[in-house]
Amino acid sequence: MIEGVIVTKLRQMVDERGKVMHMLRADSAAFRGFGEIYFSTVHPGAIKGWHIHKRMVLNYAVPHGCIKFVLYDDRLESATTGELQEIFLGPDNYCLVTVPPLVWNGFKGVGTETAIVANCASIPHDPDEIERKSPFDPSIPYDWTLQHR
């Protein structure tokens, strides 16, 4: 696990009417402030990455579909410098992933349907505090292709 990343199992309450899916509460240990909530979608096989935030704490959950969420730590002072972490997120593994500033991250849609990715960010979007790289940038040692293990 990458230093500072928190994975919190989330509750789903299901009955014959549907379900309620929790995401984040102000009294959660992962909560670092409220800036904005937004939703993005990713189609199966599409990749959104890489990006890093200088100040923003991310809180991702995937209530519909499935993604492969990948993190990379290149912080020199971190105990996990150089490590990669993969987490498959969706209703079958319904978790909140809290990502501290300065950890590279991206995700790929997996499965057969478009995924919805929710983010409760600690600060409002600021284009000056984000940096982006191609998903295939060689400075991040990750292969997005399907792995048959």
pLDDT per position as a tens digit, 55-99: 999 999 999 999 999 999 999 999 999 999 999 999 999 999 999
- What is the span of the domain harbouring residue 68? 1-13+30-109
Confidence (pTM):
0.93
- CATH number, domain with residue 80: 2.60.120.10
56 assigned to some structural domain: yes
Within 8 A by CB and 6+ apart from 91, the residues are: 12, 21, 62, 63, 64
Which three-class secondary structure state does DSSP give residue 127? Answer: helix
On whether residue 93 sits in a domain, the answer given is yes
Per-residue confidence band for 146, with pLDDT thresholds at 50, 70 and 90: confident
pLDDT digits (tens, 9 = 90+) for 105-144: 999 999 999 999 999 999 999 999 999 999 999 999 999 9
Number of domains in the chain: 1
Q: How confident is the model at residue 32 (pLDDT cuts 50, 70, 90)?
A: confident
In a domain, 103, yes or no: yes
